[in-house]
Amino acid sequence: MKISQSHPRFESLRTRELLVQAVINGIVAPQGLLAHGRGEAFDYLIGEKTLPSARKAAKVAAASLLLADHPVISVNGNAAALVPNELAHLASTIPADIEVNLFHRSLEREKKIASVLKRLGIKNVLGVGAEASTRILGISSPRRNVDPDGQGRSDVVLVPLEDGDRTLALRKNGQTVIAIDLNPLSRTAQQASITIVDNITRALPILVTESRRLKRQDRESLRRLVRDFDNRKNLESTIREIIAYLGKWNR
Ligand code: PTJ
Q: Indicate whether 183 belongs to any domain.
A: yes
Classify burial at 243, counting beta carbons within 10 Å of its beta carbon; exposed 0-12, middle 13-18, buried 19 or more: exposed
202 found inside a domain: yes
Nearest CA to ligand 1 atom 25: 39
The answer to whether position 83 is within a domain reads: yes
- Assigned domain for 82 exists: yes
Whether the CB of 183 sits within 6 Å of ligand 1: yes
Chain CA centroid to CA 68, Å? 17
Among candidates 185, 239, 184, 183, which has minimal Cα distance to 35? 183
Domain of 75, CATH number, reads 3.40.50.12640
Domain-embedded: residue 175: yes
Query: Structurally, how many domains does the chain consist of?
Result: 1
Atom of ligand 1 nearest to the CA of 32: 9
Q: 40 C-alpha vs ligand 1 centroid, how far in Å?
A: 11
**What does the alpha-carbon distance between residue 184 and residue 155 come to, in Å, rounded to a whole number?**
24
50-57 average pLDDT score: 98
Is any atom of ligand 1 closer than 6 Å to the C-beta of 74? no
Residues of the domain holding 224? 52-247
- For strands 156-160 and 176-180, give the pairing: parallel
What is residue 97's predicted lDDT score, i.e. its pLDDT? 98
Q: Three-state DSSP class for 177?
A: strand
35 belongs to a structural domain: no
In a domain, 205, yes or no: yes
The ligand 1 atom at the shortest distance from the C-alpha of residue 77 is 1
pTM: 0.96
3-state secondary structure 60-99: HHHHHHHHCCCEEEEECHHHHHHCHHHHHHHHHHCCCEEE
C-beta of residue 98 within 8 angstroms of C-beta of residue 73 = yes
Check pocket membership of 204 for ligand 1, CB cut-off 6 A: no
Q: In a mutational test of the pocket of ligand 1, which residue from 163, 186, 197, 198 has the highest number of ligand atoms less than 8 Å from its CB?
A: 163
**Cβ of 75 below 6 Å from ligand 1:** no
Residue with the smallest CA separation from ligand 1 atom 9 is 32
For residue range 163-178, what is the model confidence (pLDDT) as tens digits? 778 899 999 999 999 9
Which ranges of the chain would DSSP assign to H, the alpha helix? 10-24, 30-45, 52-67, 77-82, 84-93, 107-119, 165-172, 187-191, 200-214, 219-227, 231-247
Q: By three-state DSSP, how is residue 242 classified?
A: helix
Q: Model confidence over 105-153: pLDDT tens digits?
A: 999 999 999 999 999 999 999 999 999 999 998 888 888 999 999 999 9
For residue 116, is it within any domain? Answer: yes
Residue 37 alpha carbon to ligand 1 centre in Å? 9
Count the neighbouring beta carbons within 10 Å of the beta carbon of residue 205.
Answer: 17
